[in-house]
Structure 1
């Protein structure tokens, strides 16, 4: 017995009784009415899975217009309900008209019980499928909202930041590829999210990918997906980041860290707006808004032969340079106040404030780690402070990123940091070249720099 709910509408009470007897062994809930005017009184019509509707209710009338009228009324109240039309006067044009109006199927009286039950069961399966699709759409919509939520904000009113945001506003409504550059910790991902938030794709998903953290062996699988059995651990079909971002925005962070081989594969996908899963020959079209970011000098990398010039042209139709924190003036204090309130609330110290001398210290510092370093500095000060007024001594400004090592490095971490910094400086931020010089893989170098929070 199916867990379904059926409503039968016919002016012939004998027919209603016959259908009720037939269907009661197939479906848990069967209701009948002999007057279609009662449809208007049904407040829970949406709870029915199927309606069996007669097409003629007035004596001597067999045009089917009455049935079509009530079909439209039912569809207004319950658009997804499956309606099967019934009539003793069969005509192909009438059946076609009913189907165009939204009917699921059409049966003639008298019917064959087996055929009628098969028709009703098919309609019931259709109704269940429609319900499942509707639920999936609602879940997908909710999931997109959750994914797109971000508790971070673009904070500040300096001229440098305002100029960037004005450019973002102009570009966001278009679908052009955007390249965001700037030092680490300046907020490149926030700019990317703002581009998505202001775009026509804002209700779709924003997918961010840290390109530096993907090994070359997994590059294609991560970005383009794979089929079951494509390689040892491919136990099921899996969509890649390009497919996941379809209709939305795809943010490729640290794009300057890709090898030439992976650059070629990425260029093909961007040019053709199609991908092929690993282990498959099927071409899959993708509709994405592409946003890339890097802290590298890509023009210099092109000159050095380690970044493809054609890929650079593809990704930087619009170039947005995010200013470092040291060039944003009073934004330093605005951000400091924001993080002070945030961490003051988090650590149950809501009455904290920064005195004037401490503010001068924050303004005078170069902030090589930019906003990320400021955030960590404020959080540390909030945790360690003993009073409600933060003084200059409460802010332990790190010198690691500007370390000159005049006395020589004193720890292995300092030595490692010095060697990595020098290698990256010599190769203009090119991780592949620096890694080759240091005798480690690009992945290892990248992970070490992430750990140092450069």
Structure 2
């Protein structure tokens, strides 16, 4: 019997989840705080941790980082509200297996638990090196969820990946949000001579500014307040393999200097340390920002840009590769069926028409999420229109509903302060969404157009669920 530790401070919710999992054959122990969970984990062995993100004495993120340092083999699932999803995605990059959102769907919870426990003992097979044959169905979909595709642009991208992969050149992957820049980077690693080494993916936008240097390069005990033990940084962990630096433009100027030195000298020095450590790491960076423009504004070092940009790849937005829609849809249907224990085989002709007409501002990430949702809502073997979000085929439905559902004042009456606030929130959300779409989700450009800093933009995107 598998043992699960559930950390949830809502006692009613905790009791419901515990009862459900126990009925499905799992042993479940519960607690309500990070500190209590740490004490329990230090005295007993668990196969899986399920933690709410918001806890009375801390966050699920803190527990995740602690548990991964102490018990790296124990899987962690994070429970979030919809407004926490951006944070949850960052947690996954720190080692969480998956996140699930409240209100919890029982089928999704059970599927995620089963998947996490089976993944624990399932080795990841490296992708074999082979020449691309895009017209063969077997080679359109590479292992590790990388879809090659069969459009001309997809063929060109795969050719360039296979060209640069065996080299040790630093690669800069450009592309809009959701275009699969990390999958492109993993594909390079899997086709390289470093494929048996680690692939360490870092979301630079998720690194706290004051701790970014420590996360990347490590620190020694006592280097700063709270440094209670030695820490191995991501560069040292990636030694002999590849480090992927996503959203590289988010690094502070000071950390950029440290990164430039590490690239030039192939050595790092831990924060507070005086010993240099030799590293053998290939660097792949990704961004949806214009780093050259940012260097002109003093936000990004031009010399670092040229060090990172020994070879450039452009991840293709989905609206420019509609020919590959069948390949992507087939892959995502297969993933969703396996995860949700379903057997959906295809999309109805009406759904295909909607997919091909839609602009996909969220690209592959948006397509994957919509298909996962549709599979969950489909009872037969074919996805129908009613399993899709209305915004997919009625772009103005959300804003129309907002106005129709808002309180309408009678002539001569002023709306209540609550109505004013609701309308303001709706209009701000629509404006941010429009600018994000117009800039192809370039967050630096969006922030400049809206005259707000990136931190404020990220906060509002999280608040309105626009990631």
Q: TM-score range by the shorter chain?
A: 0.5 to 0.7
**Alpha carbons 1:179, 1:291 under 8 Å: kept:** yes
Residue 277 of structure 1: which of 249, 270, 285 is its match?
270
- Between 1:328-337 and 1:413-422, the stretch displaced more is 413-422
- Between 1:390-399 and 1:321-330, the stretch displaced more is 390-399
How far apart are 1:318 and its partner, in Å?
A: 0.2
* 1:98-113 matches, cutoff 5 A: none
SS in 2 for 1:377: helix
Change (3 A) 1:317 1:351: closer
CA deviations over 1:95-138 (Å, ceiling 9, x no partner)? xxxxxxxxxxxxxxxxxxxxxxxxxxxxxxxxxxxxxxxxxxxx
Tell me the distance in 2 between the aligned counterparts of 1:179 and 1:346.
Answer: 32
Residue 324 of structure 1: which of 312, 317, 321 is its match?
317
* 1:340-379 matches, cutoff 5 A: 340-379=333-372
Residue 412 of structure 1: which of 421, 425, 439 is its match?
425
* 1:58-69 matches, cutoff 5 A: none
Residue 305 of structure 1: which of 267, 276, 298 is its match?
298
**Alpha carbons 2:204, 2:250 under 8 Å: kept:** yes
Change (3 A) 1:318 1:420: same
Tell me the distance in 2 between the aligned counterparts of 1:195 and 1:448.
Answer: 34
Tell me the distance in 2 between the aligned counterparts of 1:299 and 1:249.
Answer: 24
Tell me the distance in 2 between the aligned counterparts of 1:235 and 1:401.
Answer: 54
The aligned residue for residue 434 of structure 1 is: 447
How far apart are 1:423 and its partner, in Å?
A: 8.7
How far apart are 1:218 and its partner, in Å?
A: 0.3
Matched, 1:190 2:186: no
The aligned residue for residue 446 of structure 1 is: 458
* 1:118-157 matches, cutoff 5 A: 151-157=144-150
**Alpha carbons 2:346, 2:382 under 8 Å: kept:** yes
Matched, 1:390 2:402: no
Could you list the runs of 5+ residues in structure 1 that have no partner in the other structure?
A: 1-141
Tell me the distance in 1 between the aligned counterparts of 2:331 and 2:350.
Answer: 18
**Alpha carbons 1:301, 1:430 under 8 Å: kept:** no
Change (3 A) 1:383 1:373: same
Change (3 A) 1:211 1:144: farther
How far apart are 1:305 and its partner, in Å?
A: 3.0
How far apart are 1:359 and its partner, in Å?
A: 1.0
Change (3 A) 1:155 1:174: closer
- Between 1:239-248 and 1:352-361, the stretch displaced more is 352-361
The aligned residue for residue 246 of structure 1 is: 239
- Between 1:169-178 and 1:407-416, the stretch displaced more is 407-416
The aligned residue for residue 230 of structure 1 is: 223
Tell me the distance in 2 between the aligned counterparts of 1:386 and 1:426.
Answer: 38
SS in 2 for 1:167: helix
Change (3 A) 1:310 1:249: same
Tell me the distance in 2 between the aligned counterparts of 1:423 and 1:356.
Answer: 30
Matched, 1:212 2:205: yes
The aligned residue for residue 161 of structure 1 is: 154
How far apart are 1:315 and its partner, in Å?
A: 0.4
Tell me the distance in 2 between the aligned counterparts of 1:430 and 1:223.
Answer: 23
Could you list the runs of 5+ residues in structure 2 that have no partner in the other structure?
A: 1-119, 128-142, 404-421
Tell me the distance in 1 between the aligned counterparts of 2:439 and 2:183.
Answer: 29
Tell me the distance in 1 between the aligned counterparts of 2:351 and 2:378.
Answer: 13
- Between 1:344-353 and 1:286-295, the stretch displaced more is 344-353
Tell me the distance in 2 between the aligned counterparts of 1:368 and 1:423.
Answer: 9
The aligned residue for residue 86 of structure 2 is: none
Number of positions where the alignment pairs a residue of Structure 1 with one of Structure 2 = 312
Change (3 A) 1:322 1:170: same
Change (3 A) 1:205 1:450: farther
How far apart are 1:246 and its partner, in Å?
A: 1.0
Change (3 A) 1:437 1:356: closer
**Alpha carbons 1:368, 1:401 under 8 Å: kept:** no
The aligned residue for residue 258 of structure 1 is: 251
CA deviations over 1:63-101 (Å, ceiling 9, x no partner)? xxxxxxxxxxxxxxxxxxxxxxxxxxxxxxxxxxxxxxx
Residue 308 of structure 2: which of 310, 315, 322 is its match?
315
Please give the TM-score of this superposition, normalised by the length of structure 2: 0.59
